[in-house]
Amino acid sequence: MSSDALTSSEYIRHHLTNLTFGQLPDGHWGIAENIEEAGQMGFWAIHVDSMFWSILLGILFIWGFSRAAKNATTGVPSGLQNFVEWIVDFINDSVRGSFSAKNALVAPLALTIFVWVFLMNLMDLIPVDVIPEIAKSMGIHYMKVVPSTDPNVTFGMAIAVFLLTLYYSIKIKGLGGFTGELTLQPFQADNIIVKILLIPVNFFLEFVSLIAKPVSLSLRLFGNMYAGEMIFILIALMYSAGLGMGLFGGVLQLGWAIFHILIITLQAFIFMTLTIVYMDMAHTEH
């Protein structure tokens, strides 16, 4: 727990607050100095820490994989090449098992999503006070280091996947075919009058199902990672409650970190798999 005299609730709020840039109440743009200012910045506020860590991890992913590709050899592979080849084979098997059409974009998209989301989730295993305390020594008062605990990040990725599915749905099926899927199912009829009457009902059901895809995709990742981060923060509070509770908290933190490795991997896999499934649905005519 931070050395400052913070109450438990203040400590939790501090660790769950993003470093936010936006329009301050007096009209000028800058970094919010407290939670209230951040809350008043509105829609156009930017979570600087989420942007920084997600972009940094994306660059790390590109650098690592490009380095492995440049140094690839047909002889005995290096540890990095072996690791990258294992991930690529895993992604290829996942795409072959869930995607029935042909699209050269899907496998690279799945690879990018899996590795990027995994790296963002992996930041949750860093002790909760380490990076915030380093940032504080540099004059930065808020620093959330797990981008996937920010709904702006998870919704951004989910919306990008959603737009891709819409694009390929219209490209593969045509505007008429895509519109037909939204209006002529699940309820069908041979009578033209009944079919017309069913169009609003079908559209409502299909539209809800369509919109639910990016919402569920983003909230599933956000909810699981946010809950995991909250547990780490609550365990960290135990270190300020005496030696006995601190030792017990250390055991809990180790146990939860080991279990959390499964969660961060599973959430990256689920996000990738659902993306492949949605892309397959976009390429399949009903």
Q: Of the residues 18, 94, 98, 224, which is catalytic?
A: 224
The CA-atom distances, in angstroms, between 44 and each of 24, 41, 154, 169, 173 are 11, 7, 17, 30, 36
Give the list of residues 6+ apart from residue 46 with CB closer than 8 angstroms, or none: 20, 21, 22
Active site residue 13: no
Give the list of residues 6+ apart from residue 110 with CB closer than 8 angstroms, or none: 91, 94, 95, 272, 275, 276
CA distance 142 to 147: 14
Q: Tokens 């909760």 correspond to what residue? A: 128
Active site residue 220: yes
Q: Of the residues 67, 78, 220, 240, which is catalytic?
A: 220
Q: Of the residues 71, 92, 209, 216, which is catalytic?
A: 216
Active site residue 152: no
Q: How many CB atoms lie within 10 A of CB 212?
A: 10
Strand locations in the chain, DSSP E? 20-23, 29-31, 46-47
Q: What tokens does 65 get? A: 């994989």
- Percent of residues in the chain assigned helix, strand, coil, to nearest 5: 75, 5, 25
Pick from 170, 156, 166, 62: which is nearest to 108 by CA? 62
CA gyration radius, the chain: 23
CA distance 213 to 157: 12
Residue type, 103: N
Active site residues: 216, 220, 224
